[in-house]
Amino acid sequence: MNLFELQDVSRSYGASNREVRALNGVSLCIPGGEMLALAGPSGSGKTTLLNLLGLLDLPQGGRLCFEERDTARMTERQRASIRRCRLAFVFQTLNLIPVLTAYENVEYFLVKQGPTNGSARKCALEALECAGVTAQAHCRVSDLSGGEKQRVAVARAIARNVDVILADEPTAALDQKTAGQVIELLRCLNRQRGTTIVFTSHDPHILGHADRVIFLRDGRIQTQ
Amino acid sequence: MMRRALLAIRVASRNVVRNRYRSLYAFATISIGAAGLLIFQGFNHGLMNQYRANTIRARWGHGQLVVASTTPREGHTNAAHAQPAQKGINLSTSLLDGLRSLPGVAGIFPRIPIQATLIHGNEALVGRGEGIDGAAEARFFDQLNYVSGSDFGADAQGVVLGQGLASGLDARVGDAIRIAVQGPEGKVRSAQVSVRGIFHTGSQEFDSQAFRMPLALTQELLGTDRVASISIGLSNLDQWPNFAKEVKLRYPALQAVPFDELDRVYYRHAVDWLDAQYAFIRGVIVIVVFLAIFNVISLTVAERTPEIGALRANGESKGEILGNYFLEAALLGLIGGGLGIVGALALVAGPLHHGIAMPPAPGITRSFRILIEPATYDALQVVAVCLATALTGCLLPVWRASRIPIAEALRHA
C-alpha cells in the first residue's frame, strides 16, 4: 500500500492576476519505508510539496491521499492528529522551542503524545543519545550550534517513533561533515525502523543517500 | 494530565521572560496599575472609615432606636417621629438598664426634639433644638466643633447654641437666655438657661436654628416623659447587627436604625459617590493594562509566528496554541498583579504609613488624615481584575495567530 498517493495535484499562491503556480499537475506515489529526496531549483515547488505531504496545506486541484484517505476530506482535527502521531518535521531552522533545553524539546511532544512519565524520559534520552547530543541534553537550544540543533530536531523525530519524517533542507545550514552525520542518522532510522523519509536538498552528496530522487521544475516533476 | 499541565506552565513561564525588556515593560505596566488600584481602594476605605467615625461621633452614634413602624412603608420617620411628646418612646429605668446590658453597648443617649422661641434681651428667634443627656453625650460625641465654650455636661440649666443662632440672638457664652415653648395644654412654658457653648457643624442652615439643652428640662417644658429616639454608642460598628437583632427580639415595639440609614443624604451618598469614582479610575487602569497586554502579546505573536507554525506542524492543535498564550497572559496578569500588590503594601507600610492629610469632607468641619487601609478582599479583586484584563487583552492577537495557515506561518521564518 502506498503511504502517499498524489494525483494531478496543483497548488497556487497569490491573487488571480499575479498567481504563482507552485505545483502543477504533480502525480506521485510514495510507498511506506522509502527514503525519498526532492530536488530542484528554488521556487520549483519542493517545500510546497513537502507541506502538502505533511498535511500542513491542502491541494487546490487533484487529490492527495494518506493511506488511501483523501486529505481534503479530513477535518482539521484529524489532520492535526495525524501530524501529531504519524508525522514529524525537521525544518532548516526554527523548528525547536528556544526557551526549552534539548531534552525538554524532545520530551515536549512525547508528553503531548501521551506516554507515561518514565517512558517519556527514557525515550527522550535514548533519542538524544542516538542523535549524538547527550552532552547537550540540558543546554537551552538557543545556545546550541546549527548542527546540534538539527540533531536535536532529528532526535525529536526519533523519540516520537513516527511513520514519516519530512525534512525541509535539513542540512542546508550545516558543514559537510555535520550534514553527512545528520543524513546518516535519517538513513539509519529509515533502515532500522522502516520510517519513511522525505527530504529536500540541493546537495548532490546528500541526495545520494536517497532511494529515489524526484527533480521538480516550475511545479512539475521533471525526472524521477 | 498533570505532567502536561506542568510542562505547559514551564513553557509559558519561560516564554513570559523570553524578551526581558518587553517582559519588564509588561510587568511594570500591570504592577503599577495594580498598585494604583489597591492604593486607591485602600485610600477609599481609609476615607470612608474616617468619615464614618466622624459621622458616628459627631451626631448619630452607631444608630438609633425609634418607635417601630407599623408598616414597612413608613420607614423610621413614622407618627412617633412627628409627635414624639405624645407617641415617642416611653423612657423607663428598666428600658435604659435593659439596653445598657446588651452586648457591645458603650452608651445610650435618649433625645427629644423641641421647637422653641429663644429670647435674649430684645432678640427672639425660633430654634429647632434637641433635649439630650449632656454628660453622657459629652463622653461619646467628641466631634462637635465648639467655636467658644464647650458642652453643658451635667449642668441642668445649660444650653449650647449653633453659631448662626447665637449670632442672631447676640448671645455669648455665659449669657442667660429664655427658652419658651407651647406646652401640651396650650399654655406657654419657659425656662431660663445659661449659654455654655457655641458650636458649628459646617451647615449654615442647621447652625442658624440648632440648639441643645438638657433632656430633663426639655421633657419638663414639653410636658412628657417620652423621647423621640435613643442614640446608641457601641464599642465598634461590627456589633450593630447583633445589637439590632437583640433589640428586635427583646423590644419589638422599638426599631433599630443604623447610622448610615439615618444619615443617608450625606454618608450613603458619599459612599456611592466614592464608589463611582473608584469604578471610573478602575476603568482607566483596566484600559491601560489591557492595551499593554494587547501590545505585548501582539508583538510576541508576530515574533513567534514561525514557531507557532512549527508547533502546529508537529501536531499542536489551535486550541493548544490558544491555551499556551492564555497561560502566558494569565502568568503576566497574576505575577504583574502580585508584584503590584507587594509594591502597594510596601508603600503603605513605608511612605504612606501615616496616611494623607485631607481637607474637611462634605458635612464635616474638621480636616483629617486618611490612612490607606487596603483589605484582603481588595487585593484579591485587584488580582482578579489584572487576570481578567490580561486574558481579554490577549484574545484578539491569539485568535489571529491561531487562524494563520501553518504553511504561511512557517514562511515567516
Using the predicted structure, report yes or no on whether residue A116 has a pLDDT greater than 60. Answer: no
**Cβ distance of A91 and B407 shorter than 8 Å:** no
Q: B20 vs chain A: nearest CA distance in angstroms? A: 13
- SS3 string, A2-69, reads EEEEEEEEEEEECCHHHCEEEEEEEEEEEECCCEEEEECCCCCCHHHHHHHHCCCCCCCEEEEEECCE
Q: Are residues B351 and B210 both part of a single domain?
A: no
Contact: B315, A112; criterion CB under 8 Å: yes
CATH number, domain containing residue A41: 3.40.50.300
- A22-52 confidence digits (pLDDT tens): 898 999 999 999 999 999 998 889 989 999 9
Beta carbon pairs, A and B, within 8 Å: 76
Integer Rg of chain A from CA: 17
Residues B92 and B239 occupy one common structural domain: yes
**Residues B48 and B80 placed together within one structural domain of the fold:** no
Q: How far is CA B233 from CA B103, B113, B238, in A?
A: 11, 19, 12
Distance CA A214, CA B278 (A): 69
Q: Which residues have CB under 8 Å from B329's CB, separation 6+? A: B293, B297, B390, B391, B393, B394, B398
Q: Is there a contact between B316 and A112 (Cβ–Cβ < 8 Å)?
A: yes
With a CB cutoff of 8 Å and minimum separation 6, the contacts of A171 are A150, A178, A179, A182, A183, A201, A203, A206
Whether residue A1 is contained in a domain is answered as: no
| Other Cβ atoms closer than 10 A to B12 | 20
Q: Please name the residue of chain A whose CA is at the shortest distance from the CA of residue B10.
A: A100
Is residue B62 a part of any domain in this protein? no
In a domain, residue B317? The reply is: yes
CB proximity under 8 Å: A 68-107 to B: 76-77, 80-81, 83-85, 87-89, 91, 93-100, 104, 107
Residue B233 has a pLDDT of 93
- Tell me what pLDDT residue B406 has: 84
Which residue has better confidence, A158 or A117? A158
Give CA–CA dist A95/B409, Å, rounded: 12
Percent of chain A's residues with pLDDT above 90: 34
Residues of B with CB under 8 A from a CB of A: 3-4, 7, 10-11, 14-15, 18, 306-307, 309-318, 320, 405-407, 410, 413
Does some domain include residue A4?
A: no
- Option in B18, B316, B317 nearest A99 (CB): B18
How far is the C-alpha of B14 from the C-alpha of A100, rounded, in Å? Answer: 8
Closest residue to B4, CB basis, from A88, A99, A111: A111
B239 in the same domain as B183: yes
Residues B90 and B231 in one domain: yes
**How many CB atoms within 10 Å of residue A163?**
18
* B48-59 per-residue burial string, b: 16 or more CB within 10 A, e: under 16: bebbbebbbbbb
Confidence check: pLDDT of A75 > 70: yes
Q: Apex CA A211: angle with CA A206 and CA A214, to 5°?
A: 75
> Distance (Å, rounded) from C-alpha A120 to C-alpha B6?
14
Q: Tell me, yes or no, whether B181 and B122 share the same domain.
A: yes
Q: What is the DSSP string of B1-68?
A: -HHHHHHHHHHHHHHHTSSHHHHHHHHHHHHHHHHHHHHHHHHHHHHHHHHHHHHIIIIITTEEEEEP
Indicate whether A48 belongs to any domain.
yes
Within this chain, do residues B110 and B218 fall inside the same structural domain, yes or no?
yes
Helix and strand numbers (H, E) in chain B are: 16, 14
What value does the mean pLDDT take over residues A190-197? 91
* Pairing relationship of beta strands B188-200 and B158-162 according to DSSP bridges: parallel
In the listed set B229, B252, B275, which residue is the last one of a domain according to the structure?
Answer: B252
Going from the C-alpha of A144 to that of each of A88, A173, A212, B171, the distances in angstroms are 21, 13, 32, 94
Based on the structure, what is the number of domains in chain A?
1
Are B29 and B103 in the same domain? no
Name the average pLDDT for chain A.
86
Number of domains into which chain B is organized: 2
What letter would DSSP give residue B188? E
Whether B235 is in a domain gets the answer yes
CA distance B351 to B41: 17
Q: What confidence tens digit (pLDDT) does each residue in A147-175 have?
A: 888 888 888 888 888 899 999 888 877 77
Instruction: Flag whether A81 is in a domain.
Output: yes
Q: What residues of chain B lie within 8 A of the CB of A99, using their CB?
A: 11, 14-15, 18
Q: From the CA of A176, how many Å to the nearest CA of chain B?
A: 23
Same domain, B13 and B108: no
Hey, are the CB atoms on B307 and A94 less than 8 Å from each other? yes
Q: Point out the residue among B11, B407, B413 whose CB comes nearest to the CB of A56.
A: B407
ipTM associated with this complex: 0.82
Helix, strand, coil share of chain B (percent; to 5): 55, 20, 20
A residues 34-53 lying closer than 8 A (beta carbon) to B: 48, 51
Residue B413 and residue A89: Cβ atoms within 8 Å?
A: no
Among residues B186, B218, B252, the one where a domain terminates is B252
Residue B259 lies in a domain: no
Q: Give the whole-angstrom CA distance, residue A55 versus residue B406.
A: 9
Q: Which domain holds residue B51?
A: 2-55+267-411
Same domain, B282 and B236: no
CA atoms within 13 A on the CB side of B257: 25
- Which residues of chain B make contact with A51, given a CB cutoff of 8 A? 406-407, 410
Q: Are residues B95 and B159 in the same domain?
A: yes
Q: Write out chain B's pLDDT in tens, 413 residues.
A: 777 788 888 888 888 888 888 888 888 888 998 898 899 888 888 888 877 887 788 778 999 998 887 655 555 556 666 677 777 888 888 899 999 999 889 999 999 999 999 999 999 999 999 999 988 888 888 767 888 998 888 899 999 999 999 999 999 999 999 999 987 777 889 999 999 999 887 778 888 999 999 999 999 999 888 999 999 999 888 899 999 999 999 998 888 999 888 877 777 777 788 788 878 887 887 788 778 777 877 887 778 888 888 888 887 888 888 888 889 889 988 999 999 999 999 999 999 888 888 877 665 666 778 888 888 888 998 888 888 888 888 888 888 877 888 888 877 65
Cβ-nearest to A99 among B15, B316, B410 = B15
Confidence (pLDDT) at B77: 59
Domain membership flag for residue A19: no
DSSP B236-276: -GGGHHHHHHHHHHH-TTEEEEEHHHHTIIIIIHHHHHHHH
A197 within a domain of the structure (yes/no): yes
Domain range for A203 is 34-56+77-223
Q: What is the DSSP letter of B397?
A: H
Higher-confidence residue of A183 and B84: namely A183
* Three-class HEC string of B311-370: HHHCCCCHHHHHHHHHHHHHHHHHHHHHHHHHHHHHHHHCCCCCCEEECCCCCCCCCEEE
**Would you call A74 helix, strand, or coil by DSSP?**
coil
Domain boundary among B192, B226, B252: B252
Asked if A80 and B317 come within 8 Å (Cβ–Cβ), the reply is: yes
Chain A residue numbers touching B312 (CB-CB < 8 A) = 56, 80, 83
**From the CA of B304, how many Å to the nearest CA of chain A?**
10
Angle between helices B2-16 and A102-113 (to 10 degrees): 140
pLDDT at B392: 85
Residue range A51-56: average pLDDT? 92
| Residues B120 and B223 grouped into a single domain | yes
CA B10 to chain centre: 43
